Structure 1
Amino acid sequence: MPILNFLLQTATVTDTLATAASTADTTEVGITENISYIEFLMKGGAMIIPIILLLFLCIYVIFERYMSIKKLTKQDPYLLRDIRQQLQNGKVENAMILCTREHTSTGVILASGLSRIGRPIGEIEAVMDKTATIEIVKMEKNLGYLGLISGIAPILGFVGTILGVIKIFHTISVTGNLNIQTISGGLYEKMISSGAGLIVGVIGYSAYHVFNMMIDRYLAKVQEQTLEIINIIQEPDGN
């Protein structure tokens, strides 16, 4: 009998725990279903608004810079070959037309050198270097915004969290009601602000460095092409 009573009690406790767990799961699912992602995000406080605006600005700059950089850095694998042929035939103007047909930075840089054919090689190199610098500046346009966003967004998130914590403790000091629900409930909402700011900051930071790596790779390629076009100009048939 003692063993039977023990088993019955164990079964009763198990059923109770199972019922409680089921109730908790149901409650959690109900809460999850009753709140949308937007509503959950807006619980982060007033700082969520500027963070969202920074996110939209970040996405716009990323899209705009990607399209612009891809267009400017487009490479024609046959461009140098075609330029060599035209210069060997003494058709400098045709070579310059080939450079400008794609409206790329590479074409603009090479055309600036071809336009100085007949001048000292040092002058041709200087002109091409200056033109390359101007084209790189065009590619870097608005990238500063990404760097700014990557720094500001996390700070705004932390400010929102700090303001929320101050508000929580102010409420506790006024009401004298100190319990875990008040602290944890208010704190998790304010941590949303920090999380959102960090996410936006990571997006801006990553995009900023990815674009700079693209530009650096392009610059190395342009330097190689500049050296090659100088060699072509110096060829006896290219003068």
Structure 2
Amino acid sequence: MKSGLHLLCRCVLLCFACSTLGAAEPVAVLESATDSRTLLDLLKAGGWAMVPLALLSMGTVGFTIYNFVYVRQRNFIDEGVVVQLDQAIEQADMARANEICAQSPGVVTNTLKHSLTQMEQARFAPEALEKAFETASSRELASAYVVVNYLSIISAIAPMVGLLGTVSGMVKAFNSIAAEGMGKPELLADNISEALITTASGMAIAIPAMFFFFFFRNRYGKIVSEVNLVLGQLYGQLLHVGNRQGEGHELEA
């Protein structure tokens, strides 16, 4: 009796071991197949949408590097040039101030050069000078902000391109079901994989692009405040020189 019971237990254990090995084999094959997929394979699985997403990714990297290099206070305000302009305006030497602006183009110098030209044409009208400062500074600061704003555009476009790829993949998946039925799940899996990869890629591009957009926007805002402070000081000096010379006197050309 006991020998028969032992034999039955051994048979049960043997069957359990065989079933476990049989189940583990496809899992191991699946894991090896998954691990063998490279990044290039994933990009190919994403379909056509990965091409514009790759371009947007390169644009994000390029604009980020450019803004790291360009959006710095020293590129907008040259302290040495500002000191020279202070001295030239204090001495009412507008020819020298124009020469300094021409030799050192930048936001501050371009704004001042435009304002000096308008001031000479208007025979030093304070209202014309103020308007010239506002117009020139707005134009210069807006043009410098364009590259920063490109990151915002990319952060908005990338998820939409990824979503378009997702819709394309889902349409292909349902077309596969309609054409082949459920007999070929690998076709359905490829199309769903395309849909998910494009969504993930779009978000992976948009998140850092949005982060760096806000980062550089805040940095740019601080720089604009400093630029406006310098321009305000130069504007005050020009008003002081004009009032000192009195009406009917032209500033030195």
Task: State TM-score, norm by structure 1.
Answer: 0.72
Asked if the contact 1:65–1:139 (Cα under 8 Å) also holds between the matched residues in 2, the reply is: no
Q: Which moved more, 1:99-108 or 1:180-189?
A: 180-189
- 5+ residue gaps in structure 2? 246-253
Q: Which amino acid aligns with 2:46?
A: G
* Cα offset, 1:145, TM superposition: 4.7
Question: What's the counterpart of residue 179 of structure 2?
Answer: 174
- The CA deviation at 1:226 is 2.1
| Superposition deviation, residue 203 in structure 1 | 3.9
2:233 match: 228
Paired residue secondary structure (1:177): coil
Aligned 8 A contact 1:43 1:189 in 2:
yes
Correspondence for 1:132: 137
| CA distance in 2 between partners of 1:109 and 1:22 (Å) | 74
Q: Distance in 2 between matches of 1:156 and 1:101?
A: 45
Map of 2:78 onto structure 1:
76
Distance 1:50 1:228 in 2: 47
CA distance in 1, matches of 2:233, 2:204: 44
Residue 127 of structure 1: CA displacement?
0.9
Q: How many residues align?
A: 237
Residue 91 (structure 1) aligned to one of 77, 90, 93: 93
1:20 shift after superposition: 7.7
Q: CA RMSD in A?
A: 4.2
Change (3 A) 1:49 1:88: closer
Query: Deviation of residue 135 (structure 1)?
Result: 0.7
TM-score by length of 2: 0.69
SS of equivalent to 2:229: helix
SS class of match (1:119): coil
Q: Compute the displacement of 1:119 (Å).
A: 0.5
Q: What amino acid maps onto 2:90 in structure 1? A: Q
Q: What amino acid maps onto 2:218 in structure 1?
A: M
- The question of 1:37 aligning with 2:39 is answered yes
Partner residue, 2:249:
none
Native 8 Å contact 1:68 1:139 kept in 2: no
Mapping of 1:1-239 within 5 angstroms? 28=31, 31-32=34-35, 34-64=36-66, 67=69, 69-70=71-72, 73-115=75-117, 116=119, 119-141=124-146, 145-177=150-182, 186-235=191-240
8 Å Cα contact 1:143-1:208 kept in structure 2: yes
- Cα distance change of structure 1 residues 26 and 230 upon mapping to structure 2, 3 Å threshold: same
Using the aligned pairs only, state the percent identity: 16
Residues 167, 123 of structure 1: alpha-carbon distance in 2 compared, 3 angstrom cutoff: same
